Structure 1
């Protein structure tokens, strides 16, 4: 028996339960609430701890680029986007295009995989959605990204754009370029308007994919309803999980139709001829 004066051993405290990743239902309800009232925070709890270098300096993009590596539920979101676009918004846009006489400028059968799965997702996400959380840096990158919109997709062009963006980002990180707190607070108050205007701009950009007919301009937004709906999801994902997550979902979303067209071209070409 222990002596009466000896201190009693206390049991070790239970380790705190690790916060589990949010389920898809939680992500979906958060998305609906976000669309009704867009806000900058909080991020969903999947991002790893920030990586810091000597002197406590945070490596550029730890949260932005690595925060979405373990989430969200990409497969479920792909099914949602493909389902909505294939069953509802896609047929509606196609019927509007037929009724208005609008024709696609791009031949979807001759779009390269690099263009659809690498070039467009990276460029469009950086141009339209990177600035949702990094508005100061996005303004410096904007001229480079706009110039890239007029370039022909290719490895050399992509490498030059990446080098230019990395150089600008390096200078901004070295100078620790930030907006004053008063400006950031104002931006936060205007963020709901900013988010929806950026989403509309992303959708209307895709009107350039059409040779528009003679119908009234009031029906033109119906042509890009699929891009508008997809832009809402991609914007939410960028804000909640980081820019890499929205790029990844955008690339996978584009890869689905590309894979379907490849299968039809090689195994059922008669379907495309019809």
Structure 2
């Protein structure tokens, strides 16, 4: 099969963009997009369920929209409020950006989008790990939490709701009615966490949302990807999205270090 041949049933990029826009207006927990592996179990959920180049297309789209639309607004807000980004370009956080953040942030903010029973125990657990930041201790805690998240793969299906992995019928009805709040709340929380990437320096509250506009838009796409493709696809897209800017900075530091001075 050619490297870039579109699998049978896989929507075009244009169709996926339209589906994303419709989803954002009216979020809902299903159904899945075409072109994915059959089944709804945890193993399938962790698969990419899309060609790698389709995820790359989404990353390029996000980079383009953020660079030309939302990043200028964020930079203007930072200049107006005196906020400074904490990133040290001479000590790029490769492991955090490519492994820690994609896994921990996706489990924290988007795993429950298709498993709402985990809102009550798994999301607070992952949030506590996220606040600690990347490190050996928090990494071990995240690994243990991930094993808990995978428990439905071997736990008896008829008893999962009692153990906190599935909800009752009444709980599912409530979750469906509240789903737009759940989806958009997750995207807003994801964006808000990234305020910690800045030294705010007494910045006006009204400007804070502008600082994280790129992360908010990215969170919407990652949430859609998680629901429509699966957790594996959202983690992979998250890693690709983070890796692109770091790679660009790394190339500039290597080939034109004078551009990074100042």
Q: TM-score range by the shorter chain?
A: 0.7 to 0.9
User: Which stretch shows the higher mean deviation, 105-114 or 86-95?
Assistant: 105-114
**Match among 86, 94, 110 for residue 91 of structure 2:** 110
Residue 167 of structure 1 and its aligned partner are, at CA, apart by 4.0
Match of 1:158 in 2: 139
Which has the higher mean CA deviation after the structures are superposed, 251-260 or 129-138? 129-138
2:189 corresponds to which residue? 201
Preserved contact between residue 46 and residue 71 of structure 1 (Cα < 8 Å):
no
| Counterparts of 2:47 and 2:122, CA distance in 1 | 20
CA distance in 1, matches of 2:50, 2:155: 23
Q: How far off its partner does 1:45 sit?
A: 1.3
* Corresponding residue number in structure 2 for 1:94: 75
User: What residue is the counterpart of 1:188 in the other structure?
Assistant: 176
Q: Which runs of 5+ in 2 are unaligned?
A: 1-6
The Cα of 1:261 is off from its aligned counterpart by 1.1
Corresponding residue of 1:246:
234
SS class of match (2:15): helix
Q: Is the 8 A contact 1:72 1:241 kept in 2?
A: no
Inter-partner Cα distance in structure 2 for 1:202 and 1:31: 18
Task: Give the RMSD, CA atoms, in angstroms.
Answer: 2.2
Distance in 2 between the 1:181 and 1:72 partners? 38
Cα distance, 1:72–1:197 mapped onto 2, change above 3 Å? farther
1:184 Cα offset (Å): 0.5
- Which residue of structure 2 lines up, in the alignment, with residue 46 of structure 1? 35
CA–CA distance in structure 2, aligned partners of residues 28 and 164 of structure 1: 33
Q: What count of residue pairs does the alignment treat as equivalent? A: 249
Larger radius of gyration: 1
Question: Does structure 1 conserve the Cα–Cα contact (< 8 Å) formed by 2:48 and 2:236?
Answer: no
Establish whether residue 173 from structure 1 lines up as the match of residue 155 from structure 2.
yes
Q: Give the Cα–Cα distance (whole angstroms) in 2 for the partners of residues 113 and 218 of structure 1.
A: 32
Q: Is residue 2:117 matched to residue 1:136? A: yes
- Cα deviation for residue 149 of structure 1 reads 1.5
Local SS of the residue matching 1:66: coil
Contact 2:125 2:145 (8 Å CA) reproduced: yes
The one of 18, 27, 30 aligned to 1:29: 18
CA distance in 2 between partners of 1:216 and 1:112 (Å):
28
Alpha-carbon contact 2:99-2:239 (below 8 Å) kept: yes
Q: Is the Cα contact below 8 Å between 2:42 and 2:150 reproduced in 1?
A: no
CA contact 1:47–1:70 (8 Å) conserved in 2? no
Unaligned runs of 5+ in 1: 1-17, 51-57
Equivalents in 2 of 1:219, 1:138: separation in Å? 30
Distance of 2:145 and 2:213 partners within structure 1:
33
2: CA distance, partners of 1:273 / 1:131? 43
Q: How big is the shift at 1:151?
A: 3.4
8 Å CA contact 2:83–2:199 kept in 1: the answer is yes
* 2:10–2:36 CA contact under 8 A, matched in 1: no
1:146 equivalent in structure 2:
127
Aligned in 2, Cα 1:164/1:195: closer, same or farther, shift over 3 Å? closer
Shift of 1:64: 1.2
With normalisation by structure 2, the TM-score equals 0.86
